[in-house]
Every structure is written in C-alpha cells, then in structure tokens.
C-alpha cells in the first residue's frame, strides 16, 4: 500500500480541526454565546431569562416570577438566573427564598440583596454581618448600608416592630394641608406628628434638633385604646423643610418598612388612621391591588390606562408624600392616549405641565378624569432602582379611597369613598407660592434608596427613593369627615 504523501497526510488533521471548530461555533451560536468563564446557555433557559429580565425591569413581577421559575428549572445553578430570581423574590417580600437562592454566592450584588432580605426579615445580626462584608469592598459606597449595618448591630436581641396593647387603635388625622397624610403619635413617650411617606423605605426621625444618630424607638398610636410598637428602627433626617411646607411640626416619616407591619387603614376623608394587632378580614366592598417592593422598599402597583378590555398597563411607584394624584413620564402619557402637546403649563412652575387622564384603572375600579402632571424626575428614580416606571401615584389619588394594607404590605384594599374628592373633580391643585411648587427629589440625610443603584464603578449616586415632594395647594375647604367603622377595612461607583 502506498503511504500517504506529506501534503495529503497534513490535510486530514486540518480538515478534522476545521470540522470540530465549525461544530463548536454552531453550538455557541445556538446557545447565545459564551461569556468569560461562563458555560454556554441552554437555549430555552436563555429565552426564559431574557423574558424574566425584561418583565422585572417593567416591574411586571408576576410575569417575571413565572419566567424565572422556568429558567431555574432548566438551568438551576447559573449565577445570573439565581441573582435575578433573588431580586424577584425580594420584590415579593419572599425573604427566605431570596436568601436560599443566593446560598454560596458572595459577590457585591449577592451580598446587597441578601443583606436587605435579612434586614427586612428581622434577622439583625446576620444582616449586620452581610452589610459589613458588603462595605468592606472599597468600590462600594452605600450610605444606607452603612447606617443600617450600625443600626442592626445595635439591635442585637431586639425583635423589630413588636406590638402590644389593644387590638385596634384609632387616631384622628388632622387635615393640615391638601391631601397630606399626617398622623398623631408618640415617639418614646413624646407626642408628635408623623407623615405617611410610602416613598421612603425606612422610618426617619427629625434630626433638625441636632440628633443625627440612627436609633431604635418606641411608638404609640391611639389614645383611648392604644397600641404600642416597640423596637422600631429609625434613621435620622432633617424634616424642618417638610414641617415648614405643611405648616405642621413633623417628627417622623412613616416609611413602608414600618407601615406594612401595622395592619393599618388610612382614610383621609374620614380623618382616621387605624392600627391593628391582627390581620383584618376583607371589607365587603373593596378592590384588591397587589403591591411589590423593588429592592425590598419601593412600593409599586400596576395600573391600566384607557377604555376597552385590554387597557395599556403601566407600573406606578406609590409615594404619599406627593400630593398630586398622578405624575407620568412621556411613556405613561402615551399609554394614556394623551399627547404631550395638549398639556398646559402649571402656573408659576415652568418645569411642569398638567392635564387629565381620561381613565385610570386601579384594581377593579375605573377612575375617570384623573388630574396628572408631566415633568417630574421619574428618570432619576428609574436610574436609582434599575427599573422602568411609567410614573408616580401620590396621596391626591389615594385620598379618594379608604386604604388598608394587609399580608405584610403585599396587598392593598381600596374602598370607594363617596365623600372624598379627587383633585377637586379634575382640576389640578395650584402649588403654594412659598416654595414655588417645584417637584423635586429631596436628598436624604445619608440614606440612599432601599436598594443599591445598578452595579458599575464611578456610577453617580442614586437619589433617595422618595418621589418628588410637592408643595400643598393653598388652604381650602377640606372634605367633610365621616367616621366609619374602623374594623375590617447600594450604590456601586
């Protein structure tokens, strides 16, 4: 048998090598590519992950949950899938699941999510350990984590939000300005006023008198029948500007981490704030709105715009410190079917324009002729949270309902209130001239949003998760109160 010639003998290995490389290239292309140090993606896992990622960023957490569960089923060990699944779990306040998904992962992102899950679940020592480990990275700057880590370490042996006293405590809410939700309470035995501010994750105590330290405080709600809430974590913040704005001495901001432990109802038209020591049964006539919390602290609901069986859906951050009913960005107004060119300038507020939403769907309720503004810095909040929002909901909308939070804040019941009005029946309230009525993000006293900004060194600091505060309109005739039954009803730069 004649031996192979040298040219022919060299061709076979080269042909075999080319065939292997071609097959490998086809495999990589089919699986969506391979990143540095990362195994190829199973095609279906990548599709489910991409869907979950897109839904999470639209704050469609229900769809994100379904999609990420399917991705986990196909590829349960991939880091990116587990991190996103943990973010979804934290948004749904499923703390144990978030912690379990991150087991064995010690990246800054994993520590940030896990630290928040531990903090909000009341595991103080573990939260302190996790947040301190996060802050040991010189590339991480997270003032919230710094304050909360110290507070968690000081809280060793405490059980946050321990409630005692009566079953139900009813407090009369003074109508100090516009639709601001102000609640009388006692802080460490001293009487004061709190402002329900769902745009903040934590409770904040006024530091204008010089006390700038985080602390654990005791609260009391009600007078005749009172409820005590002990071991409440509170961060410092200068509230003197808010006090001047409302013309009332605000001692505390009641953020969502406190609010969702109170089994509470607030009824602006009825001038009532109700705290309970139990989970109330559903009211006979109410609609159910599911809430999620981006990064554990940003209260978001889904709403529908327009008529028809399939209205355009949007994600709205709820911040009761904003007195306008609704503030939408460009995409939100487009979903509502309202051209920006039809919006009118706000008097004395060059940065804002206002108009009326033809219809806003909230749960099963269809709310017509909702006053709304354009020009609020929604983009700043989106950048800080890493999600897309269509706008903000303020106390001006919620004041038209009797609102009850249940299931640890995961569910909001809305009862229609015929005695309440919505934005003066479709007319936008005029801002008070004292501060020019500017919608603005109020910088925190060392507190970032309840979650870190998107990863990336040298990234600008994220704004506090406090939606734009707006000056109240001039004092006018307040709605007539009715007294119904208080029963069921980290930044990385």
Nearest to 392 by CA among 379, 383, 401: 379
User: Of the ranges 55-59, 177-181, 199-203, which one carries the lowest mean pLDDT score?
Assistant: 177-181
Q: What is the pLDDT of residue 178?
A: 83
SS (H, E, C) 2-65: CCCCHHHHHHHHHHHHHHHHHHHHHHHHHCCCCCCCCCCCCHHHHHHHHHHHHHHHCCCHHHHH
- Report whether 406 contacts 413 (CB < 8 A): yes
- Do the bridges between strand 411-416 and strand 272-276 make them parallel or antiparallel, or are there none, so unpaired? unpaired
Handedness of CA 245, 247, 252, 258 (dihedral sign): negative
pLDDT digits (tens, 9 = 90+) for 326-382: 999 999 999 999 999 999 998 878 889 999 999 999 999 999 999 999 999 899 989
Domain spans of the chain? 43-138, 159-493
Find tokens 């599709």 and name the residue: 47
pLDDT digits (tens, 9 = 90+) for 320-335: 999 899 999 999 999 9
In the numeric block, which tokens belong to residue 8? 């022919």
CA–CA separation, 221 and 276 (whole Å) = 10
Say which residues have a Cβ less than 8 Å from residue 367's Cβ, sequence separation at least 6. Answer: 359, 360, 361, 397, 400, 422
CATH number of 159-493: 2.40.70.10
Q: What is the pLDDT of residue 309?
A: 74
Q: What value, to the nearest 5°, has the Cα angle with vertex 398 and ends 395 and 404?
A: 120
pLDDT category, 38, cuts 50, 70, 90? low
CA–CA separation, 118 and 158 (whole Å) = 14
- Report whether 205 contacts 211 (CB < 8 A): yes
403-420 as b/e: b if 16+ CB within 10 A: bbbbeebeebbbbebeeb
> Using the 8-state DSSP alphabet, how is residue 155 labeled?
T
Q: What is the pLDDT of residue 440?
A: 32
- Please give the span between the terminal C-alpha atoms of the chain, in angstroms, as a whole number: 71
What CATH superfamily is the domain 43-138?
Tetratricopeptide repeat domain (1.25.40.10)
pLDDT at 4 > cutoff 70: no
**Using alpha carbons only, how large is the chain's radius of gyration in Å?**
26
- CA 156 vs. chain centroid, Å, equals 27
Handedness of CA 104, 105, 110, 112 (dihedral sign): positive
Q: What is the pLDDT of residue 490?
A: 43
Whether the model pTM is above 0.85: no
Q: What value, to the nearest 5°, has the Cα angle with vertex 334 and ends 330 and 339?
A: 90
Question: Starting from the edge strand earliest in sequence, which strands make up the sheet with 272-276, in order?
Answer: 168-172, 272-276, 265-267, 401-406, 411-416, 287-290
pLDDT at 144 > cutoff 70: yes
Q: What is the pLDDT of residue 19?
A: 46
In the numeric block, which tokens belong to residue 360? 């806003």
pLDDT at 274 > cutoff 70: yes
In the numeric block, which tokens belong to residue 47? 């599709």
pLDDT digits (tens, 9 = 90+) for 292-329: 999 999 999 999 998 777 889 999 999 999 989 999 99
Find tokens 């896990």 and name the residue: 114
Q: What is the pLDDT of residue 487?
A: 36
- Report whether 414 contacts 266 (CB < 8 A): no
Q: What is the pLDDT of residue 224?
A: 82
User: Of the ranges 208-222, 253-267, 448-462, which one carries the lowest mean pLDDT score?
Assistant: 448-462
CA dihedral 68, 72, 77, 81 (to 10 degrees): -10
pLDDT category, 25, cuts 50, 70, 90? very low
Q: What value, to the nearest 5°, has the Cα angle with vertex 449 and ends 443 and 454?
A: 115
């Amino acid at each position: 048998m004649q031996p192979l010639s040298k040219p022919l003998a060299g061709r076979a290995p080269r042909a075999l090598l080319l065939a292997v490389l071609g097959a490998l290239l086809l495999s990589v292309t089919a699986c969506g590519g391979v990143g540095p140090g990362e195994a190829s993606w199973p095609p279906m896992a990548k599709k489910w992950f991409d869907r979950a990622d897109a839904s999470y960023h639209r704050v469609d957490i229900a769809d994100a949950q379904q999609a990420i569960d399917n991705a986990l089923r196909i590829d349960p060990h991939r880091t990116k899938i587990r991190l996103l699944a943990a973010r979804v779990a934290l948004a749904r306040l499923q703390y144990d699941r978030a912690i379990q998904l991150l087991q064995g992962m010690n990246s800054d992102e994993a520590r940030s999510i896990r630290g928040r899950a531990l903090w909000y679940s009341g595991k103080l020592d573990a939260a302190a350990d996790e947040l301190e480990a996060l802050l040991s990275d010189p590339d991480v700057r997270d003032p919230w984590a710094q304050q909360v880590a110290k507070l968690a370490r000081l809280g060793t042996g405490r059980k946050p939000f321990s409630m005692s006293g009566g079953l139900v405590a009813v407090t009369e809410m003074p109508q100090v300005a516009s639709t601001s939700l102000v609640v009388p309470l006692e802080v460490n035995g001293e009487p004061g006023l709190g402002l329900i501010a769902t745009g903040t994750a934590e409770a904040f105590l006024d530091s204008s008198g010089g006390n700038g330290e985080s602390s654990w405080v005791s609260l009391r709600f009600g007078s005749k029948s009172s409820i005590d809430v002990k071991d409440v974590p509170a961060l410092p913040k200068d509230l003197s500007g808010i006090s001047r704005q409302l013309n009332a001495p605000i001692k505390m901001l009641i953020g969502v981490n406190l609010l969702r432990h109170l089994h509470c109802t607030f009824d602006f038209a009825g001038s009532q704030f109700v705290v309970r020591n139990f989970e109330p049964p559903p009211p006979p006539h109410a609609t159910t709105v599911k809430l999620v919390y981006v990064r554990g602290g940003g209260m978001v609901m889904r709403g529908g715009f327009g008529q028809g069986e399939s209205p355009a859906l949007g994600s709205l951050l709820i911040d009761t410190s904003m007195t306008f009913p609704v503030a939408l960005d460009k995409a939100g107004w487009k979903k509502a079917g309202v051209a920006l060119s039809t919006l009118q300038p706000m008097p004395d507020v060059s940065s804002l324009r206002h108009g009326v939403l033809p219809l806003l769907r909230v749960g099963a309720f269809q709310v017509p002729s909702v006053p709304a503004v354009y020009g609020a810095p929604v983009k700043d909040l989106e950048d800080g949270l890493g999600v897309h929002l269509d706008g903000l909901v303020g106390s001006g909308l919620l004041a038209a309902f009797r609102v009850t939070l249940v299931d640890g804040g995961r569910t909001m019941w809305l009862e229609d209130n015929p005695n309440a009005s919505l934005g003066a029946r479709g007319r936008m309230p005029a801002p008070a001239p004292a501060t020019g009525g500017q919608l603005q993000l109020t910088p925190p006293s060392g507190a970032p949003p309840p979650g870190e900004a998107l990863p990336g060194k040298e990234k600008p600091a994220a704004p506090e998760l406090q939606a734009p505060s707006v000056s109240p309109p001039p004092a006018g005739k307040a709605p007539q109160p009715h007294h119904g039954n208080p029963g069921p009803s980290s930044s990385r730069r």
